[in-house]
Structure 1
Amino acid sequence: MRLHRLEITAFGPFGTAQTVDFDTLSAAGLFLLHGPTGAGKTSVLDAVCFALYGSVPGVRQSPGASLRSDHAPVGTYTEVLLELTVGERRLEITRRPAQQRPKKRGGGFTTEKAQTWLREYDPATGEWAGLSRSHQEIGEEITQLVGMSREQFCQVVLLPQGDFAKFLRADAEARGKLLGRLFDTRRFAAVEERLADLRRAAEQQVREGDERLLTLAHRMTQAAGGLDAARAPVEGRPGDPGLAESVLTWAAVARTEAREALDIAGVRFTAAERGQAAARAALDAEKELADRQARHADALRRREQLTARAPERDRHQAALDRSLKAERVAPALGLRKDAEREHATAQAARERSRAHLPPDLADQGAEHLSALEHRLRGELGGLGSARRAEQRAAALAEERAAL
């Protein structure tokens, strides 16, 4: 779900129409909604929740609580309009809560029922098409597209504003249903089925491995020949528990017996090998002498080559020393170039800003311009208060005339 635009009129602390362009805010990725206490941060999130589900989170939806702004002029409807994209569809939801409005005839006020409009943007025609004005139909459509009820939306999406402690204290079944609906746990069921398939495949591989192991055990029995281990072969079927341990135990016994036989044969072989060792020792001595003579000749040749290339090595060393010295000052030179470029950019921006000022203010300092700005903002605030007082006086005059 992606929000595009939010229009709030006479809602919460907003007495007049206010527009929030989420596309502009999210152009760089994340954005922060901040301000002093009472500035209306929570009301913006309440407006989003109200547009989607027709109610606001938590206790702010308690009986007797009014969504209408106390600062809104008489006759201005409390209304929230939200434009969003959900499920590859671009929708526009407009909601008006039940509210008091002046009677069209006579004095006093009358209660106007809550109203809801749902429209969808058609990319082919570039126009908005009305879908429904039924609260129930629109509520079901939004819940199905978003995939969450109002309570789930307030607990999971509006974490700072919702009563998230209820979600933490919920039992495992309730949280499992919610998380399964939010995060589509069907893939975990597929993983579980996949693991079961792997388990069955592993069992088949174990049986096949046991068959190969028994085949090797029979071949080892045949190879053991006259050993005692050959008279007690391994018994068992593929897949039996402990089959591998039994084969390993039998193999260990057969290996011990084979080692004993090998040791006896080794003693006999050692006696025959001593004569060969004496002759090989003489041969190895001659080979070692020849190898040392060859290494000595190669070392002399390499020394002559290195001596001939000594001037070239000195030149390379001198060049390396110069490059190391240059490397130490390169960062300082780079910082200087960056500082000069930033200074030129700031100077150009300053000149462009000065060009938009009146001639009598072009050469004024920043402190003078800041003081002038504060004074003008104060005058604008006073004019705004006077305008609202004038509008209120006009409304009172009309009401007095009507009375």
Structure 2
Amino acid sequence: MRILSISGQNIASLAAPFRIDFTTAPLAGAGLFAITGETGAGKSSILDAMCLALYGDAPRLSAGARGDKVPDAAGEEISAADSRAILRRGAATGWAEVRFTGRDGADYIARWQARRARDRVEGKLQSVARSLARAADGQVLAAQTQAVSEQVAALTGLSYEEFRRTVLLAQGDFDAFLRADTGERAALLEKVTGTGLYRAVSIRVYERTEAARAAHAQLLARAAEHRLLDDAARAALTEEIAAKTAATEAAAAERAGLTEALARHRRHAEAQAQLQTAAAALAGAETRQAEAGPARAQLERLERAAP
């Protein structure tokens, strides 16, 4: 988000129309500048105008209790937290406008306006009018208070409280911060910047660190229970390992021999079975040969008689 310009009229002590353009000289090239002036000159009113245009609220409205009442020119009382209380006394209408660049890179115009009935100084205050428009073509994107606030928060990435704590530090909070002692200053810093979350994260990190240290200490204690072997015991283990390694190699050789013997036995059994099959076939052939004796003798006689 980037503020491009702030303008308005009849905002607190600022009666005449004003416009501060950050895109033109001399502010365009100023990386850092100060708003100075006498008390009541309208320094805070410029910041109020920026907050009113964007969020419809201002830090000075949050300074008092929400239940406080202030008199109005129309003869009625309004809440001290009512944004219309910033309207300059003796003015029938007042407005604030901010031109800014959103997170999407486009420029937008946020506007806030308060007016009295019939545009008369003694007229009754009317409802605040707010709008959000696209700067490129002037198209109004939202014209209701809640919708404008939601759109501005989405385009800037900041809610009003986040904007007030990060972009705009209220004078009362800053003065209290300077006068506080170290402990109170830390509490105020958390309040202003909303960094209480980081304190909770720090506590959890500390607790997890302590738990990790305790676990590490337990592991060290367990490691201390194991002692290293002396030279004699280590030599004995080395000899035992060598003996077992030799035994393992001998067993492997014996297993290879047994495997080969088992294979020979299997081949012998197969040969025995084949031999029995061949003997049975031979016996059957001899039987058939004996049965064919008379026929063979007859065949021999026929062969001799054939010529």
Compute the TM-score of the two structures, normalised by the length of structure 2: 0.50
Q: Within 2, Cα distance between the matches of 1:175 and 1:80?
A: 25
Structure 2's unaligned 5+ residue stretches are: 71-79, 178-184, 236-307
Q: Within 2, Cα distance between the matches of 1:95 and 1:149?
A: 17
Corresponding position of 2:163: 153
Corresponding position of 1:27: 29
Q: Within 1, Cα distance between the matches of 2:90 and 2:18?
A: 13
Distance 1:146 1:135, change over 3 A: same
Structure 1's unaligned 5+ residue stretches are: 207-238, 259-403
Q: Which has the higher contact order (CA 8 A, sep 6+)?
A: 2
1:55 lines up with 2:18 in the alignment: no
Counterpart contact for 2:173–2:192, Cα < 8 Å = no
CA deviation profile, 1:195-229 (whole Å, cap 9, x unmatched): 99xx9xxx9xx9xxxxxxxxxxxxxxxxxxxxxxx
Structure with larger Rg: 2
One-letter code of the match for 1:78? G
Q: Within 1, Cα distance between the matches of 2:58 and 2:113?
A: 13
Map 1:264-279 → 2, pairs under 5 A: none
Distance 1:67 1:243, change over 3 A: closer
Corresponding position of 1:397: none
DSSP 3-state at the match of 2:23: helix
| 1:137 corresponds to which of 147, 168, 173 | 147
Distance 1:168 1:154, change over 3 A: farther
Deviation at 1:134, TM superposition (A): 0.6
Map 1:2-401 → 2, pairs under 5 A: 2-24=2-24, 25-57=27-59, 58-59=62-63, 63-64=69-70, 66-70=85-89, 72=91, 77-88=93-104, 89-102=106-119, 109-121=123-135, 126-161=136-171, 163=173, 169=187, 178-179=194-195, 241=220, 245=224, 250=228, 254=231
CA deviation profile, 1:336-367 (whole Å, cap 9, x unmatched): xxxxxxxxxxxxxxxxxxxxxxxxxxxxxxxx
Distance 1:169 1:21, change over 3 A: same
Distance 1:38 1:244, change over 3 A: same
Deviation at 1:111, TM superposition (A): 3.5
Distance 1:108 1:15, change over 3 A: closer
Counterpart contact for 1:101–1:112, Cα < 8 Å = no
Deviation at 1:163, TM superposition (A): 3.3
CA deviation profile, 1:289-318 (whole Å, cap 9, x unmatched): xxxxxxxxxxxxxxxxxxxxxxxxxxxxxx
Q: Within 2, Cα distance between the matches of 1:160 and 1:134?
A: 27
Counterpart contact for 2:169–2:192, Cα < 8 Å = no
Structure holding more helix per residue: 1
Q: Within 2, Cα distance between the matches of 1:240 and 1:156?
A: 46
Counterpart contact for 1:92–1:120, Cα < 8 Å = yes
Deviation at 1:7, TM superposition (A): 0.8
Q: Within 2, Cα distance between the matches of 1:9 and 1:168?
A: 38
Q: Within 1, Cα distance between the matches of 2:148 and 2:139?
A: 14
The share of aligned pairs that are identical, in percent, is 26
Counterpart contact for 1:10–1:68, Cα < 8 Å = yes
DSSP 3-state at the match of 1:136: helix
Counterpart contact for 2:114–2:125, Cα < 8 Å = no
DSSP 3-state at the match of 1:97: strand
Q: Within 2, Cα distance between the matches of 1:244 and 1:116?
A: 71
Compute the TM-score of the two structures, normalised by the length of structure 1: 0.39
DSSP 3-state at the match of 2:228: helix
CA deviation profile, 1:224-243 (whole Å, cap 9, x unmatched): xxxxxxxxxxxxxxx97557
